[in-house]
């Protein structure tokens, strides 16, 4: 595996820039009698400028793809925001959920391969007047749902798409990758997995020096587990990204915060899709 960290090229005059790029792929499922995938995809963009020479540029491209035959799932996002001027805020956010339900035959080994990728970057001209933040996380969890009646499984899946944490069970297996970089500090890049997740390839790169920060992580591996009795297994996969840039002057920072709160209430730029969505948005806001 060869991994290369790339800081997305920012506009030539942009004072701040942040991006979050994440990907999760699940393939080569074996040992299953039946498969059903469901998914949800959400994105949000907000931008505010308070001066005639201020601007923000936002882009959000989230994707979710699933297939029941052959069974596979994929989610990816590129979220970026840049800004220039003295008083502005730009924010992009995306999250996706994939829920898969599998019937496993008695005496069968359930297995699949996975790959994950998380690339974060920030860039500013002057700190602490300007601030840029990028964060993201990727994870999947497997739960034994054999004791849940078949007629209630659709309600369970719908609930998990709305809230992946609503299941009240301990996972059989899991993998997670999360990162955060902020020009004001509190940077991290961590990964965790259960003992029956085997990592075949891994790569990490971290550069947090100066006004340009970036992190990159890539992992490949597989899950494998033997089931003596017939079982029903539910998989929950999530992918989240967020990027933000700000450059408020002290005299107008309160107005910027208040107006940003109003914009959040309006919740502009939000969209929801099912199963498959390729969307992008670039938005400039001036007041």
pLDDT of residue 53: 87
CB 172 within 8 A of CB 125: no
pLDDT score at 179: 97
Q: How many residues does the chain have?
A: 287
Of all helices (H) and strands (E), which one includes residue 253?
A: helix 253-266
Could you give the CA distance from residue 222 to residue 115 in angstroms, rounded to a whole number? 9
Q: Which of 48, 19, 156, 177 is nearest to 100 (CA)?
A: 156
- pLDDT tens digits for the chain (287 residues)? 433 334 444 444 448 999 999 999 999 999 998 899 999 999 999 999 888 889 899 999 999 999 999 999 999 999 999 999 889 999 999 999 999 999 999 999 999 999 999 999 999 987 778 999 999 999 999 999 999 998 898 898 889 998 998 998 999 999 999 999 998 888 999 999 999 999 999 999 999 888 899 999 999 999 999 999 999 999 999 999 999 999 875 444 444 444 445 444 444 443 333 323 333 333 334 33
* E strands, the chain, in order: 16-30, 32-49, 55-68, 71-84, 88-104, 108-124, 131-144, 173-182, 188-193, 197-207, 212-227, 231-246, 271-274, 277-278
Q: Two tokens at 283? A: 């938005």
Structural tokens at position 147: 């004791």
Q: What is the pLDDT of residue 58?
A: 94
pLDDT at position 266 is 42
Q: What is the pLDDT of residue 185?
A: 85
Tell me how far apart the alpha carbons of residues 50 and 90 are, in angstroms, rounded to a whole number: 12
Please list, in sequence order, all residues whose beta carbon lies within 8 angstroms of the beta carbon of residue 190, skipping any fewer than 6 positions away.
177, 178, 179
29 and 142 Cβ atoms separated by less than 8 Å: no
The per-residue pLDDT for 187 is 92
The torsion angle over the Cα atoms of residues 96, 227, 224 and 73, rounded to 10 degrees, is -30
What pLDDT was estimated at residue 249?
Answer: 57
What is the pTM assigned to this prediction?
0.81
């Amino acid at each position: 595996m060869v991994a290369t960290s790339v800081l997305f090229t920012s506009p030539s005059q942009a004072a701040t820039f942040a991006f979050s790029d994440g990907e999760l792929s699940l393939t080569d499922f074996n040992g299953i009698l039946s498969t059903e995938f469901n998914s949800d995809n959400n994105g949000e963009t907000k931008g505010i400028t308070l001066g005639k020479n201020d601007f923000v540029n936002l882009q959000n491209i989230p994707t979710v793809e699933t297939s029941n035959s052959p069974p596979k799932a994929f989610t990816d996002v590129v979220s970026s925001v840049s800004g220039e001027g003295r008083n502005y805020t730009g924010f992009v956010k995306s999250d996706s959920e994939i829920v898969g339900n599998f019937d496993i035959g008695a005496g069968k080994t359930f297995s699949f391969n996975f790959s994950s990728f998380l690339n974060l970057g920030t860039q500013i001209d002057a700190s602490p007047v300007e601030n840029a933040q990028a964060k993201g996380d990727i994870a999947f969890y497997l739960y034994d749902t054999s004791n849940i009646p078949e007629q209630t499984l659709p309600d369970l899946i719908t609930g998990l798409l709305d809230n992946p944490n609503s299941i009240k069970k301990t996972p059989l297996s899991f993998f997670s990758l999360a990162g955060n970089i902020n020009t004001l500090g509190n940077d991290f890049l961590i990964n965790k997995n259960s003992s029956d997740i085997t990592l075949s390839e891994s790569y990490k790169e971290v550069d947090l020096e100066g006004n340009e920060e970036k992190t990159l992580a890539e992992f490949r591996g597989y899950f494998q587990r033997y089931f003596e009795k017939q079982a029903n297994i539910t998989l929950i996969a999530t992918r989240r990204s967020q990027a933000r840039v700000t450059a408020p002057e002290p005299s107008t920072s309160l107005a910027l915060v208040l107006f940003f709160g109003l914009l959040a209430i309006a919740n502009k730029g939000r969209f929801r899709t099912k199963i498959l969505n390729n969307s992008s948005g670039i938005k400039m806001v001036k007041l």
